[in-house]
Amino acid sequence: MSVTLRQFYQPLGIAAALAFLYFTVGVKLGNDWWHDENYSHGLLIPFVIGFILWQQREHFRQPKSQSAAWWLEPSG
């Protein structure tokens, strides 16, 4: 499999696996948000997350040139 196909299918597979694992949890959470007024503020969470991601969009576009962990640094 070429690198470009792997870069496409790997995140798609991970997202599908997470959606499969957490589907029932998400349905219950959405039901609680919609019907229980103590948790109705949860309906705003996707919009807040979307706003934060939109604010940080330039940060996500910049390529990472350094590893985040010291043990992954090249020796030299």
- How far apart, in Å, do the first and last CA atoms of the chain sit? 32
Residue 6 and residue 10: Cα distance in Å, rounded? 6
Residue 36 and residue 38: Cα distance in Å, rounded? 5
Render each residue's pLDDT in the chain as its tens digit; 76 residues. Answer: 566 777 788 889 999 999 999 999 999 999 999 999 999 999 999 999 999 999 998 887 877 666 666 666 665 5
Q: What is the pLDDT of residue 41?
A: 92
Q: What is the pLDDT of residue 11?
A: 87
Q: What is the Cα 42 distance to its own chain's centre? A: 17
